[in-house]
Amino acid sequence: MKKKLIVFISVLCLYQMANANTIHSTDSVIVRSGSIQPDADNAGLILPKGFGALIVTSAYGKPRHIAVTPEGYLYVKLAQPFNGNGIYLLKDKNGDGKIDDAIGFGNYGGTGIALKDGYLYASSDENVYRYKLNNQHEVTNPNDPDEIIHGLLNRREHESKSITLDNNGNIYVNIGAYSNACQVQDRVPGSPGMKPCPILDSAGGIWQFKANQMHQTYGDGVRYATGLRNVVGLDWNTQTNSLFVMQHGRDQLHDNWPKLFTVQQSAELPAECMYEIHKGDNAGWPYIYYDQIQHKKILAPEYGGDGKKTAGEDAINPIMAFPGHLAPDGLLFYTGNMFPEKYKHGAFIAFHGSWNRAPLPQEGYYVVFVPFKDGKPTGEWEVFANGFAGKPPITSARNAHRPCGLAQGPDGSLYVTDDNKGAIYRIIYTGK
């Protein structure tokens, strides 16, 4: 019996090794990932067949966005400094998939982090900094970064300054509107909308700056797109050579306009929208919102709307519309080779999960996938990774893992941060 068991285990091991080698036979970095095993219960995640997940660490504060170097090192930007450090460089030195080495620097909280052409870019809620990298993609000036952008508005609400870069030396920064719907009195029932909305001159849009110029502020940048209430997830699509963003739609249709919207309608509306952005675009906030059920741009109640009147003829249409309040915080176009073909060039979106659906159960604590071909969606969105908030119904955000940042590893792994309980997940394709 014992002998049989040993033979069985040996065969199993051989099979595992062979499998790892056939899947990952071309690249030395990729071969290494063959030894990485999912956590026993896939770290609590529910994934499509053939995928597995592990938590690489939960020990470094509240990670917002994340970037991965060609060596597989992680840079994470923390919401607030942890042990005095707002950024961590995390390494898995022994190759078991778990983080076993950490270097902290940057004494500021924030959201944005990106790697581009020999530099690490990171944002606080007001400024954007860059750090020079050595040939191992480690920062050389952790205590003395270049301040490339400063003085961006932070009035508490929608304060994250998410960033992404194109291939022409530009950096794109979200400056969220410090308001829900540009009312005279923010979030006050019945308060009318300001017209024109004064917030839009310095927030509620995406600004473009030069990636290599020091000390820029509003006057040095270009308001690349306006009418975007708040964007946290954004990515440069290298196939279309254009910017894609995920807008957080407005809150409180029922709370502020109870005669016009039911609790149920307010929980579902308005859509969280994916937009493809070109220079000069206007997405319509605060004057309109997108209703994903009527498939129309609707005049906001603060500006005389009733839930039916359409408006915003000059505003762009979304590429895709998602249910209300799910809070898309991460966007990534997948270019890796590890996942099956259908995922190539498609979009992963990390939804943070709702709060403004109460008293109805909360939704959207998951990572979604949208298939793309030639820069256009080819099908409906689907939930890719679920289970971050445990079993439904979800009534509270505070005990959930909340997906926030996304990044792709050199082997094609997908990393997902959770900025509530601090987990960093790595999702791999095992084919089993």
- Closer to another protein at the Cβ: 132 or 155? 155
Q: Residue 154 corresponds to which amino acid? A: N
Write the DSSP string, 360-377: SPB---SEEEE-EETTEE
Based on the shown chain and the rule CB under 8 A, indicate whether residue 126 belongs to the binding site for another protein.
no
Based on the shown chain and the rule CB under 8 A, indicate whether residue 77 belongs to the binding site for another protein.
no
Task: Find out whether 145 and 235 touch, Cβ atoms under 8 Å.
Answer: no
What is the C-alpha end-to-end distance of the chain, expressed in Å? 28
Min dist. Cβ of residue 171 to another protein (A): 24
Based on the shown chain and the rule CB under 8 A, indicate whether residue 359 belongs to the binding site for another protein.
yes
Based on the shown chain and the rule CB under 8 A, indicate whether residue 79 belongs to the binding site for another protein.
yes
Based on the shown chain and the rule CB under 8 A, indicate whether residue 84 belongs to the binding site for another protein.
no
- Closer to another protein at the Cβ: 24 or 325? 325
d(CA 70, CA 232): 24
Min dist. Cβ of residue 14 to another protein (A): 47
Residue 109: CA atoms inside 13 Å, Cβ hemisphere, count?
14
Task: Find out whether 427 and 417 touch, Cβ atoms under 8 Å.
Answer: no
- Closer to another protein at the Cβ: 97 or 328? 328
- Closer to another protein at the Cβ: 251 or 411? 251
In sequence order, the β-bridge partners of residue 87 are 77, 105
With 0-12 CB in 10 A as exposed, 13-18 as middle and 19+ as buried, what is 15?
exposed
Based on the shown chain and the rule CB under 8 A, indicate whether residue 358 belongs to the binding site for another protein.
yes
Based on the shown chain and the rule CB under 8 A, indicate whether residue 356 belongs to the binding site for another protein.
yes
Based on the shown chain and the rule CB under 8 A, indicate whether residue 255 belongs to the binding site for another protein.
yes
Based on the shown chain and the rule CB under 8 A, indicate whether residue 189 belongs to the binding site for another protein.
yes
d(CA 263, CA 185): 22
Out of 188, 196, 278, 310, the only residue in the binding site for another protein (CB under 8 A) is 188
Min dist. Cβ of residue 56 to another protein (A): 22
d(CA 140, CA 31): 29
Using DSSP bridges, classify how beta strands 222-226 and 281-282 pair: parallel, antiparallel or unpaired: parallel
Min dist. Cβ of residue 189 to another protein (A): 7
Structure tokens at 48: 């499509």
Question: Segment contacting another protein (CB under 8 A): 51-59, 154-162, 208-216, 269-277?
Answer: 154-162
Q: How far is C-alpha 285 from the geometric centre of its chain's CA atoms? A: 21
> In terms of Cα–Cα distance, which of 303, 304, 262 is closest to 285?
303
Based on the shown chain and the rule CB under 8 A, indicate whether residue 158 belongs to the binding site for another protein.
yes
Residues 6+ apart with CB under 8 A from 135: none
Binding-site size for another protein (CB under 8 A) equals 24
Based on the shown chain and the rule CB under 8 A, indicate whether residue 8 belongs to the binding site for another protein.
no
Out of 252, 265, 317, 386, the only residue in the binding site for another protein (CB under 8 A) is 252
Q: Residue 161 corresponds to which amino acid? A: K
Min dist. Cβ of residue 230 to another protein (A): 11
Out of 3, 4, 93, 156, the only residue in the binding site for another protein (CB under 8 A) is 156
Residues 6+ apart with CB under 8 A from 399: 389, 390
Min dist. Cβ of residue 392 to another protein (A): 15
Question: Segment contacting another protein (CB under 8 A): 26-34, 242-250, 356-364, 424-432?
Answer: 356-364
- Closer to another protein at the Cβ: 239 or 395? 395
> Which single residue is written with the structure tokens 């159960």?
361
Q: Residue numbers of the site for another protein (CB under 8 A)?
A: 79, 156-159, 180, 185-189, 252, 255, 355-356, 358-359, 395-399, 402, 420
